[in-house]
């Protein structure tokens, strides 16, 4: 165990179970970074007098130096530790396991389930492990064994979301290899999933409640514009919910075939539902010029995006993006505005939305506020883990 000292002013925070080992909390962290300590090393964090505060691991992410694993000096970080964490996380999702209409959800959510840097998702009988640092990847064997002992599975796959790592066999680890895409169900709607196209797998599981609300309450008979549409998951739910037409816009070529696939799985004829491979910012200009108007506009941009002609950063550019969306939304129409930047709080996001409406000189009412669904467990001391904000906004 490698011992590191915390600055006294931060000790209380860790005693109260703050999970992230952030640079400024560690005495001489520059030395730590330049030392030969390897990622995955267990750390004993102490106060200035050398008294135990917590056990953690060294694993570099842009967020910090690693994560706390335990505040109990006697707790060993061994096979049994990982088994207990995974087993407990599975138990907390039994409701989802037992729901035949939903076969895709998060089983283990990083620090919210007690181990930062690690997520595990369930997709129709198979598991996908995401490792966010070399440090947590050092515990790969224990984590895999914990899954094997806790659940039955068709296949287990892994993704390494840190640099210098090349996946072998699409990250296949155990069970029987899958042929991609596979099909999952979400609240009775089918979605196509693949583990072999980089970090994204076809669906963002944290938007499950939003897709359901759009299908059940907002889509029927409406004209819908889904921007940054990716695989058209929102579009599919809107179409299943009886939308008159759904227009999907995404810059990436792959979005076309993926969206068609999701439509096909749900017997949606693409005729009334154009899928455009195009820059959203261009499309807004085109739509304004043509006077196109939609009843429901979905805005779920990435935190940062760069295209040929535009760069977008949520913090800086959300208001202007929203102002563009407002111009193509019908009177009394609805805008679903989503943001997943962990450094933007719900309050701050509401301010950005207010700014957007000011720019467009329009009034609005927030009619629904959504945050993460239950399977995306958050950490009560770490606000950044509660990153998702989705507002259903009505034009007034």
H/E stretch holding 5 = strand 2-5
Smallest distance from ligand SAH to CB 95, Å:
23
Beta bridge partners of 185: 190
Q: Which value, in Å, is the radius of gyration of the alpha carbons in the chain?
A: 23
Find the distance separating the first CA and the last CA of the chain, reported in whole Å.
60
Q: What pairs with residue 21 in β-bridges?
A: 66
- Using the minimum distance from each CB to ligand SAH, give the nearer residue, 150 or 207: 207
Q: Residue 130 Cβ, how far from ligand SAH at the closest point, in Å?
A: 16
Least distance to ligand SAH, CB of residue 355, Å = 20
Q: Rounded to the nearest whole angstrom, what is the least distance from the CB of residue 210 to ligand SAH in the complex? A: 8
Instruction: Assess contact for 71 and 54: CB atoms under 8 A.
Output: yes
| DSSP string covering 13-57 | HHHTT--EE-GGGBTTHHHHHHSSPPTT-EEEEE-TT--EEEEEE
Q: Which is nearer to ligand SAH, 56 or 241 (CB)?
A: 241
Q: Which two tokens stand for residue 302?
A: 């990435």
Between 40 and 270, CB nearer to ligand SAH: 270
Q: Which is nearer to ligand SAH, 139 or 204 (CB)?
A: 204
Torsions phi, psi of 136, nearest 5? -75, -30
Give the separation between CA 391 and CA 299, rounded to whole angstroms: 10
Closest distance to ligand SAH from the beta carbon of 388 (Å): 11
Instruction: Give, as one character, the DSSP assignment of residue 7.
Output: P
* 148 alpha-carbon distance from chain centroid: 25
Among residues 205 and 360, whose Cβ is nearest to ligand SAH?
Answer: 205
Summarize as ranges the residues that interact with ligand SAH (CB under 6 A): 204, 207, 228, 230-231, 233-234, 249-252, 255, 279-281, 300, 302, 305, 307, 310
Distance CA 227, CA 235 (A): 10
Choice between 68 and 243, CB closer to ligand SAH:
243
């Amino acid at each position: 165990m490698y011992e590191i000292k915390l600055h006294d002013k931060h000790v209380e925070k860790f005693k109260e179970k703050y999970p992230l080992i952030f640079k400024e909390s560690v005495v001489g962290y520059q030395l730590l970074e330049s030392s030969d300590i390897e990622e995955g090393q267990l750390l004993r964090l102490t106060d200035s007098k050398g008294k135990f505060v917590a056990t953690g691991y060294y694993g570099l992410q842009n967020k910090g130096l690693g994560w706390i694993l335990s505040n109990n000096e006697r707790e060993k970080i061994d096979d049994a530790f990982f088994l207990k964490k995974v087993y407990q996380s599975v138990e907390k999702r039994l409701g989802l396991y037992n729901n035949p209409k939903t076969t895709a959800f998060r089983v283990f959510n990083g620090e919210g389930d007690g181990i930062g840097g690690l997520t595990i998702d369930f997709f129709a009988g198979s598991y996908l492990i995401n490792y966010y640092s070399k440090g947590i990847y050092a515990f790969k064997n224990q984590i895999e064994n914990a899954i094997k002992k806790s659940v039955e599975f068709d296949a287990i796959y892994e993704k390494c979301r840190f640099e210098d790592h090349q996946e072998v066999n699409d990250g296949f680890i155990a069970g029987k290899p899958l042929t991609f895409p596979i099909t999952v169900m979400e609240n009775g709607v089918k979605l196509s999933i693949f583990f072999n196209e980089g970090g994204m797998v076809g669906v963002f599981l944290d938007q499950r409640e939003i897709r359901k609300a759009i299908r059940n309450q907002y889509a029927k008979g409406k004209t819908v514009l889904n921007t940054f549409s990716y695989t058209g998951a929102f579009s599919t739910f809107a179409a299943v919910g009886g939308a008159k037409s759904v227009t999907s816009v995404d810059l990436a070529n792959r979005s076309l075939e993926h969206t068609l696939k999701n439509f096909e799985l749900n017997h949606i004829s693409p005729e009334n539902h154009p899928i455009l491979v195009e820059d959203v910012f261009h499309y807004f200009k085109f739509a304004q010029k043509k006077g196109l108007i939609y009843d429901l506009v979905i805005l779920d941009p990435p935190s940062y995006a760069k295209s040929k002609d535009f760069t977008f950063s949520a913090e800086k550019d959300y208001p202007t993006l929203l102002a563009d969306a407002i111009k193509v939304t019908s009177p009394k129409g609805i805008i679903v505005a989503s943001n997943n930047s962990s450094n933007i709080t719900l309050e701050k996001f509401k301010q950005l939305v207010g700014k957007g409406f000011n720019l467009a000189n329009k009034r609005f009412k927030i009619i629904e506020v959504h945050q993460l669904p239950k399977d995306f467990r958050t950490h009560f001391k770490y606000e950044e883990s509660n990153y998702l904000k989705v507002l259903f906004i009505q034009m007034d």
